[in-house]
Chains A and B, each alone.
Chain A
């Protein structure tokens, strides 16, 4: 078989956990045992003799000096069945924003717990973030099983505890795996020391878990990024962030509300009759409409919500606080609008890493979906209009 013909799917995943939970060791083990670490990289982490797998993920000088992960690092590995993009995020409370960042594009998140400690406050926070960001799948990696004698009862108790927490938060798809990242049990290779466990290893699960980020029948959403004009024809360019689009579909251009029909679809040089979710494409419409960057093309049925009162769950990211009455820019799909913070909860002022709710009054309408239904048209950022700093991440509720 030609290497060229091998097209596989991609899974985007995030990891959450602290140094103490062995997160870096787990990630290092995944990379190492899936043979994604090459000789020169191994050499650079083996200066003291045996390789320290945790060092594979610490990229910056400050991180190596302090022995902690500060920022989100992206790692890439592949097996014959799938390709993986891993956002490796630090776990402590003061890095909640980094966890939120990693989870924002993840289809699966691995939450680590120490088998000796079980579900702790930090685990609750990680699970809450996975639920808030609507990460469709959660893997609970119960690590350091070697330190509890590989006992089934220890694992079962923690898995049950986490299931209760997940149910409370509305997380439906949880897979718990007993592992020892240090010894390599159940990360890539099945453990010979836990024959009571009949489930998949972490990697087997990552390779086979079914990921359909949105439900297959989600309505089409095409935020217009750019208008390509050529030979007197206007092509509306964008990425189909949800649903499928077909030639002949009756569509509405938001927020103007004008209607038309799709007459042509072109996926990067190839004319198609139907385009799948995720494709970057251009669309032509039957009618001469004034369509610009920031508009949203959507089918007439199951229309999105146009509103000037944007409500959502938020995570505050910046070191400077967010306060009621503050002027901000709302960055949503391909649109940026001015807004004022009307109200905040649970406090009138959010500081870095706080989770809460916000209501914004926007200068122009934004066209949103409930984040729980469609991530890409429900997600928004608040940006400081003065220096462009990214302040807050938001998930629309409507």
Chain B
């Protein structure tokens, strides 16, 4: 911690969020046998790793990482992932969507999007490695189904989420009891907003993949979003590629994560841009959430992140 900014009412909001997340990491370390951190190389998972490092300092993080690899990766993000794993002496598990497609277990979708295809490799990796607590970077401010999510969210052997049967969660008393084969999804960033994440990243001077900052990139327009041209299947014949100054607000599968026009090249500029934005980060950049009113709810029920 760099400063304990004490407001008249106790901890400053970033210190309070940090303390809460660390408390959650330590609860899991104390209660579970085989936890794992979902790590995509996106800013929320980078933030989770940073908080986990702080929670167990001076000892190393006692959990491995799990990356569900769609095969449609930004090279900068994979390079970042590998550097982070090496720097902190972590173990990395990779569940590969491409491998499932090659084996014929999963089929490519007509729209080329692999985001929904991640659920099966994720679930099977959890079962195979017998992970009992799975940290995800989901935040309640992201989406309205997520606003109803618990910090400790019980999943059955198929990873299914049933919003009508969630355990009540009171005070900071998290209930991690589960049967063999079940696991608990744990969301230490539940109470963070996008702006909190960026403010904290700036305060802690956390390194991010370059694609979060403005750069020139070859993109094309699909459904009102700037997608990166690449092997994954874009652009189609009627779509034209152009060079634009963009940055990514979220990082996911290349086929459904859009860039936004931006000149924000530094953390302070990114924060100023988000403060002024009139779109949520998912509304601006995620094609999969535009599918229907309950797209996220449906994917979550099936075991998605």
**Docked complex: B93-130 residues within 8 A CB-CB of A:** none
Residue A7 at the B interface, CB < 8 A? yes
Residue B79 at the A interface, CB < 8 A? no
Residue A98 at the B interface, CB < 8 A? yes
Complex contacts, B297 vs chain A, CB 8 Å: 59-61
Residue B75 at the A interface, CB < 8 A? no
Bound together, the chains give a CA A277 to CA B16 distance in angstroms of: 10
Residue B207 at the A interface, CB < 8 A? no
Contact, CB under 8 Å: B23 / A393: no
Q: With A270-B1, A388-B179 in contact, is A376–B54 under 8 Å at CB?
A: no
Query: Shortest Cβ distance from B33 into chain A, in angstroms?
Result: 14
Residue A389 at the B interface, CB < 8 A? yes
Residue A323 at the B interface, CB < 8 A? no
Which of A66-74, A305-313, A362-370 interfaces with chain B?
A: A66-74
Contact, CB under 8 Å: A237 / B280: no
Residue A39 at the B interface, CB < 8 A? yes
Q: Mark A380-398, 1 if CB is under 8 A from B, else 0.
A: 1101000111100100000
Contact, CB under 8 Å: A60 / B163: yes
Residue A238 at the B interface, CB < 8 A? yes
Q: With A2-B268, A71-B148 in contact, is A64–B293 under 8 Å at CB?
A: yes
Contact, CB under 8 Å: A60 / B5: no
Q: With A60-B148, A280-B22, A376-B172 in contact, is A40–B284 under 8 Å at CB?
A: yes
Contact, CB under 8 Å: A387 / B9: no
Complex contacts, B87 vs chain A, CB 8 Å: none
Q: With A2-B268, A59-B147 in contact, is A8–B12 under 8 Å at CB?
A: yes
Query: Shortest Cβ distance from B162 into chain A, in angstroms?
Result: 11
Bound together, the chains give a CA A269 to CA B168 distance in angstroms of: 33
Contact, CB under 8 Å: A85 / B191: yes
Contact, CB under 8 Å: A269 / B54: yes
Bound together, the chains give a CA A365 to CA B18 distance in angstroms of: 31
Contact, CB under 8 Å: A379 / B170: yes
Complex contacts, B179 vs chain A, CB 8 Å: 387-388
Chain A contact residues, majority secondary structure:
mixed
Residue B77 at the A interface, CB < 8 A? no
Contact, CB under 8 Å: B283 / A41: yes
Q: With A237-B55, A280-B19 in contact, is A9–B13 under 8 Å at CB?
A: yes
Bound together, the chains give a CA A375 to CA B121 distance in angstroms of: 42
Contact, CB under 8 Å: A38 / B283: yes
**Docked complex: A35-73 residues within 8 A CB-CB of B:** 38-41, 44, 58-62, 64, 70-73
Contact, CB under 8 Å: B144 / A76: no
Residue A192 at the B interface, CB < 8 A? no
Within 8 Å by CB of B13, from A83, A226, A331, A390, lies A83
Write the chain A residue with the least CB distance to B275: A3
Write the chain B residue with the least CB distance to A231: B58
Complex contacts, A390 vs chain B, CB 8 Å: 167-169, 175
Write the chain A residue with the least CB distance to B145: A59
Residue B287 at the A interface, CB < 8 A? no
Q: With A40-B284, A389-B167 in contact, is A7–B13 under 8 Å at CB?
A: yes
Which of A100-108, A118-126, A254-262 interfaces with chain B?
A: A100-108
Q: Mark B159-178, 1 if CB is under 8 A from A, else 0.
A: 00001101111111101011
Contact, CB under 8 Å: B203 / A228: no
Complex contacts, A279 vs chain B, CB 8 Å: 4, 11, 15, 19
Complex contacts, B141 vs chain A, CB 8 Å: 76
Contact, CB under 8 Å: B279 / A38: yes
Q: With A85-B191, A226-B26, A380-B173 in contact, is A10–B16 under 8 Å at CB?
A: yes
Residue A302 at the B interface, CB < 8 A? no
Contact, CB under 8 Å: B267 / A4: yes
**Docked complex: B1-36 residues within 8 A CB-CB of A:** 1-2, 4-16, 18-19, 22-23, 26-27, 29-30
**Docked complex: B244-276 residues within 8 A CB-CB of A:** 267-268, 271-272, 275
Query: Shortest Cβ distance from B248 into chain A, in angstroms?
Result: 17
Residue B193 at the A interface, CB < 8 A? yes
Residue A267 at the B interface, CB < 8 A? yes
Contact, CB under 8 Å: B171 / A104: yes
**Docked complex: B185-236 residues within 8 A CB-CB of A:** 190-191, 193, 195-196, 199, 202-203
Residue A278 at the B interface, CB < 8 A? yes
Query: Shortest Cβ distance from B168 into chain A, in angstroms?
Result: 5
Contact, CB under 8 Å: A76 / B193: yes
Within 8 Å by CB of A211, from B9, B148, B202, lies B9
Query: Shortest Cβ distance from B144 into chain A, in angstroms?
Result: 4
Write the chain A residue with the least CB distance to B14: A7
Residue B243 at the A interface, CB < 8 A? no
Q: Mark A226-268, 1 if CB is under 8 A from B, else 0.
A: 1011110001011100000000000000000000000000111
Q: Report B's interface with A, CB cutoff 8 A.
A: 1-2, 4-16, 18-19, 22-23, 26-27, 29-30, 54-59, 140-141, 144-148, 154, 163-164, 166-173, 175, 177-179, 190-191, 193, 195-196, 199, 202-203, 267-268, 271-272, 275, 277-280, 283-284, 293-294, 297
